[in-house]
Structure 1
Amino acid sequence: MHSFRKAVEAGDAAAIEALLADNVVFTSPVAFKPYPGKAITAAIIRGVLRVFEDFHYVREITDSNGLDHALVFEAKIDGKQLTGCDFIHVDADGKIDDLMVMIRPLSGANALAAAMSAQFARIQQEATEQIQREAAGA
């Protein structure tokens, strides 16, 4: 999943979105319910790119079939250091169809929750606009 890692580390939202399957499901470390769909997942990732500071991956683990990946990262939010992991599954076409993020410690997860809560109206608007553009183009 080196292409995802490279795109995230570069802050390249368009490249990240290109790696997502249309039916991707994003499971947040701070929300109870998963978010299905490319538009909302891409918008959430853009929001995360806006709030993380000093983001970098420290480890990449891939299973033997190459479909499941774990990318361990470190970042700061509002000065709070956190460690997290992106758990990624890719489909037969190599697109990300499942992305689950875990964060520790609790103070880091709480800082992320607060920062993303402040972003969420914008995230929802971006996702809605993308869905409308895609529907108009269909």
Structure 2
Amino acid sequence: MHPFRKAVEDRDTAAIEALLADNVVFTSPVAFKPYPGKPLTAAILRGVLRVFEDFRYIREIADPGGRDHALVFEATVAGKRLTGCDFLHFDEDGKIDDFMVMVRPLSAASALAEAMAAQFDRIRSEAIAAIAEAR
């Protein structure tokens, strides 16, 4: 089992954050523009853990070199079942530098967008606090 998968399944936010590169870029399934940087990505992932119910990975796919992983998952958001995939790319230090998520069906993606929009003030505050703490 990949360390990222274990961290997510254990809901270990410190371990999840430790696996992120400082320059990670997070591409959301429901936002047009990618989100750059570890503080914002970590805050988004904490928000996702708050809104996903019954989350579980069902498949793990890796390239032979180990730099790219696809983790297929199922979850519920606001009563809507969804299937999604975390596409992870790892830098030469083994940290996630590119993190893209896709989900289906559209009704569940819409529910996810609404749930995450409700989290975004908290996400922004957490990211700003992390940046200020790092200075």
> Which TM class, normalised by the smaller chain length?
over 0.9
Letter in 1 for 2:112: L
**Matches for 1:99-114 after TM superposition, within 5 Å:** 99-114=99-114
* Structure 2 CA distance for aligned equivalents of residues 78 and 115 of structure 1: 8
| 1:77 equivalenced with 2:47 (yes/no) | no
* Structure 1 CA distance for aligned equivalents of residues 31 and 14 of structure 2: 24
TM-score, length basis structure 2:
0.99
Give secondary structure in 2 for the equivalent of 1:24: strand
* Structure 1 CA distance for aligned equivalents of residues 79 and 11 of structure 2: 19
Letter in 2 for 1:94: G
Instruction: Give, in angstroms, the shift of residue 78 of structure 1.
Output: 1.1
TM-score, length basis structure 1:
0.97
Q: Percent identity?
A: 73
Letter in 2 for 1:90: F
Instruction: Give, in angstroms, the shift of residue 55 of structure 1.
Output: 0.1
Instruction: Give, in angstroms, the shift of residue 64 of structure 1.
Output: 1.2
Instruction: Give, in angstroms, the shift of residue 65 of structure 1.
Output: 1.0
Letter in 1 for 2:134: E
Q: Structure 1 runs of 4+ off > 4 angstroms? A: none
| 1:26 equivalenced with 2:16 (yes/no) | no
* Unpaired runs of at least 5, structure 1: none
**Matches for 1:6-25 after TM superposition, within 5 Å:** 6-25=6-25
* Structure 1 CA distance for aligned equivalents of residues 113 and 8 of structure 2: 20
* Structure 1 CA distance for aligned equivalents of residues 112 and 70 of structure 2: 20
Q: Which residue of 2 aligns with 1:51?
A: 51
RMSD, aligned α-carbons: 0.7
* Unpaired runs of at least 5, structure 2: none
* Structure 1 CA distance for aligned equivalents of residues 18 and 85 of structure 2: 21
Q: Which residue of 2 aligns with 1:115?
A: 115
Instruction: Give, in angstroms, the shift of residue 38 of structure 1.
Output: 0.1
Counting matched residue pairs gives: 135
Instruction: Give, in angstroms, the shift of residue 10 of structure 1.
Output: 1.1
